[in-house]
Amino acid sequence: MNDDATVHDRELQEVAQRLGARAAERLDLERTAQAVVARLRAEPRRRAWAWAGLGPTWLRIAAALVIVAGAGAIARTWWHGPAPVAGVVVPLGEDLSGLTASELRDAIGALDRPLEDETGSGVDVGLEGLGPDDLRALLRSLEG
């Protein structure tokens, strides 16, 4: 995996590989496996029990309120017709398919300025080497 690794990158990888090692060693696999199986066995029963009407009182009250509110909203729509839409929000991601690769690069540069600086530190990090699909995926993840 070290097509892009320098010595310093390897040091970073070694430290990363040590992270969590103690917790992993301490894990009792058999006990964990049996605990998971026991919970899988128990949870469907718990869910069935709740839906049978034996759940906590607050849950039943909340469910009743949701039903009443929903019924009220439907009734209001029926009497007055649909409410006017004040404005349509279009997610930015919807527009990405229409952008060219250079427009996508500009958008990413505007969202996350440090990416531009990085082109000098690693040849394969530059945005120039990425296709429109890569750029769209990158832009979406930067928005998120």
Residues that bind another protein (CB under 8 A): 1, 4, 8-9, 12-13, 15-30, 32-37, 39-41, 43, 114-115, 118, 121-122, 124-125, 127, 129-131, 133-135, 137-138, 140-141, 144
Measured from the CB of residue 98, what is the shortest distance to another protein in angstroms? 18
**Contact (CB, 8 A) for 44 and 52:** no
- We find the least distance from the C-beta atom of residue 40 to another protein, in angstroms, to be 6
CB of 104 to another protein, least distance (A): 11
DSSP 57-124: HHHHHHHHHHHHHHHHHHHHHHHH-SPPP---PPPHHHHGGG--HHHHHHHHHHH-THHHHHTTT-GG
Distance CA 59, CA 136 (A): 42
Minimum gap (Å) between residue 114 Cβ and another protein: 7
Closest CB to another protein among residues 80, 113: 113
| Closer residue to another protein (CB): 107 or 138 | 138
Task: Report the alpha-carbon distance of residue 107 to residue 20 in Å, rounded.
Answer: 37
Toward another protein, which CB reaches closer, 25 or 84? 25
Q: Which is nearer to another protein, 14 or 58 (CB)?
A: 14
Q: What angle do CA 12, 16, 19 make, to 5 degrees?
A: 145
Cβ 121 to another protein, closest distance in Å? 6
Q: How many Cβ atoms are within 10 Å of 103's Cβ, its own excluded?
A: 13
Q: Which is nearer to another protein, 30 or 79 (CB)?
A: 30
